Structure 1
Amino acid sequence: MKKGLRRGLKVLGGIMLATGLLLMAGTAYEAYQSTQDMKSYPPPGKYYEVSGRNMHLYTAGRGEVTVVFASGWGTPNPYVDFSPLYDKLKSKVKIAVYDRFGYGYSDYTDEPRDVDTISEEIHQLLRTSGQRPPYIMVGHSLGSLETLRFAQKYPDEVAGMVMIDGGSPEYYSTVEMDTPEWYFASARFLVKTGVARTLLHSDRMMATLVIDPKLVSTPMKKAATISTLKHAYNDNVMNEMRHSKINASHVLENKKQFSFPLTILTAGSDQPNEGTRAWQADQAKFASWSKQGNQRLVPDAEHYIHNSQPDIVAAEIMKLVKTSSDL
């Protein structure tokens, strides 16, 4: 019995030693590859100084109207995320995609991630980079909050707004972060030890965690991978989530019905469950934030509607562009 126990402990010790050595090797490899990644990670846009740090803004296209895109929470590379829309828009309008601090090509910041600070940073970035308001603002998911707060703080600079499966302040003010902190810590551990890099070699895993590889070019796929490994659940991103409920309440406290058009695009489902029906009901109410609000249910769309149904998103944006141009 004792011999069997000793043998078992030796086997366990060997497994633990081998695992430790593999993790050490993976950590060293990841550190080296991260350094190499930065050599092939040129920003597609330009850097501008905002609050003493570099903030990245990608612009393209032409036209009198500028469409400003706000990514959803945790989207590692907004430039890649919105790329299925570019060819559909840039011949008609100017597009501007910003990276919040901790995202894409922007620096990290020590500033709090409350919605007033974030919206002020966006305003400073757009002004410093020479963009001309009024803008059509497009917010995805949790990006709805900073988009709404921007319009509350700078109402003369917004001509219209499109929400891409973005939640209302009423919704986000009542929702707790239901994913435990250990999950995010585990994800960072997988990145640090090189496991995540290995997983992202799989197109199926890439489509699950980042973006469907079929939707983007090889260089954009590489940029998305590097961004994911560089930024996944960093402190700025996590602080945004921790502030989300308070941020939503703050936007709600300052609620005043907008006069500009507001389009709510909602991902549809052929077989909605109780949670989906509640979300869709909230989305319909969300349209009341504007005197010219409307909601459109997009069938067979995922949460990232601009990836799965870019034609529909582009068409809805262009409707508001035309409206603002006719004014």
Structure 2
Amino acid sequence: MIMKKIEPRQIAKKWIKRLGLVILPLIIGGIWQNVMQEKESQLFPPPGNIFSVQSHDMHIYGTGTGKSTVVFIPGSGTPNAFTDFTYLQKELQPYARTVSYDRAGYGWSVQTSSPRTIDTITEELHELLEKADESGPYLLAAHSLGSLEALRFAQKYPDEVKGIVLLDGGSPEYYANESEVKAYALNRLMAGLRMTGIVRALGNVGILLPLSGENVRYDLLPDEVKEIDASMYYNHLGDDSNLSFIAHMNENAQAVMEGGYLHDVPLLILSSDGDQEWGEVQQQLLHWSTTSVQETIPASQHYLHWSHKEMVASKLVEILRKVEKEGHPKNDVR
């Protein structure tokens, strides 16, 4: 049997053709992503107000009235705080004033080159609340990595915090040792899928990546908010703005630890039903206040304010009534 010799040129052409079949769809997807991003920026104007804070513009959305103001702090990489907290803000309208806001580069807030250190982020939030004429003392409700921001805010502005609720937040001890490389790699993967239009294509056939909790929230959103949420997901997942936040995660956690435990700030720790390691992290948070309470919500997910939204709303109303009845404690920092 005579074997036919394959010329190197034929092999090269074959591989170029295969490569083209992979690259061409990605180029088309990238163009589609850019066109849709520009279109959606016009379709969905900010529902709240924009204020110039330090080096960039930030978006804040407020609703409801009451004795207290609840400030919702999003987790790391959450595409849009308005849609993520829309249920809780609506449910709490009869009980309190509530606000949500977007960090730099997310939602309707613009990017900044300012490093995402914990003090910078906390000072930006403080200035934003002042410019929006939102009055404290506040009840801070923080999701995930937002726990660092809530604790640091209470350290820096103790007289302006009447209580803290952590929504499956991690402890500073945990984030001080968590791998920044792992978080960075996940961010880059999500960014690649977004910029090439793959995330948008998957979403259009009903597949929302569970890594960011979008598959939990989206199905539970009211119809009028779903399009906004999808747009924010397609345009901000794995955004570069989160890289600096991730890169400073260990040192930010260390700064919070050096700031010292909170004295008697009411601290409610609502935890997802995770593994043993995550349970230990939740127990670490108990030491951060002399009036802390931790509760694990059975069969819940990391975005527990969606997987168990009614229960979380009820817990927030409970702590609101508690801190309003007992008055504003002397929030010293040890």
TM-score, normalising length from structure 2?
0.90
Choose the corresponding residue for 1:143, options 138, 146, 154.
146
Choose the corresponding residue for 2:238, options 219, 233, 253.
233
1:269-307 CA distance string (max 9 Å, x none): 5xxxxxx21221231231221111110011010011100
**Separation in 2 of the partners of 1:249 and 1:181?**
19
Q: How does 1:247-266 map to 2 (within 5 A)?
A: 247-266=252-271
Gaps of at least 5 residues in structure 2 are 328-334
Q: Is it true that 1:94 corresponds to 2:77 in the alignment?
A: no
Report if the CA contact (8 A) 1:81-1:211 is conserved.
Answer: no
Choose the corresponding residue for 2:71, options 62, 68, 71.
68
Deviates more, 1:226-235 or 1:138-147: 226-235
Q: Is it true that 1:108 corresponds to 2:107 in the alignment?
A: no
Query: Paired residue for 1:273?
Result: none
Q: Is it true that 1:319 corresponds to 2:318 in the alignment?
A: yes
Deviation beyond 6 Å, 4+ runs, structure 1: none
**Separation in 1 of the partners of 2:36 and 2:277?**
44
Query: Paired residue for 1:307?
Result: 306
1:67-98 CA distance string (max 9 Å, x none): 00001111111111112223321111111001
Q: CA deviation at 1:8?
A: 4.6
**Percent of aligned positions with the same letter in both sequences?**
33
Q: Tell me the number of residue pairs that the alignment of Structure 1 and Structure 2 aligns.
A: 321
Query: Paired residue for 2:81?
Result: 78
**Separation in 1 of the partners of 2:259 and 2:186?**
34
Amino acid at match of 1:281: E
Choose the corresponding residue for 1:162, options 145, 162, 165.
165
Amino acid at match of 2:257: L
TM-score, normalising length from structure 1?
0.92
**Separation in 1 of the partners of 2:131 and 2:38?**
30
Alpha carbons of 1:287 and 1:25: their partners in 2 closer, same or farther (altered >3 Å)? same
1:19-59 CA distance string (max 9 Å, x none): 33333322222221111111112111111110142100011
Q: CA deviation at 1:7?
A: 4.8
Q: CA deviation at 1:221?
A: 2.3
**Separation in 2 of the partners of 1:87 and 1:136?**
16
Q: CA deviation at 1:244?
A: 0.7
Gaps of at least 5 residues in structure 1 are 270-275
Deviates more, 1:276-285 or 1:4-13: 4-13
Report if the CA contact (8 A) 2:143-2:169 is conserved.
Answer: yes
Report if the CA contact (8 A) 1:84-1:215 is conserved.
Answer: no
Amino acid at match of 2:179: E
Choose the corresponding residue for 1:118, options 118, 121, 146.
121
Q: CA deviation at 1:180?
A: 6.7
Q: CA deviation at 1:186?
A: 3.8
SS of the aligned residue for 1:74 comes to coil
SS of the aligned residue for 2:252 comes to helix
Choose the corresponding residue for 1:188, options 187, 191, 199.
191
Q: CA deviation at 1:245?
A: 0.7
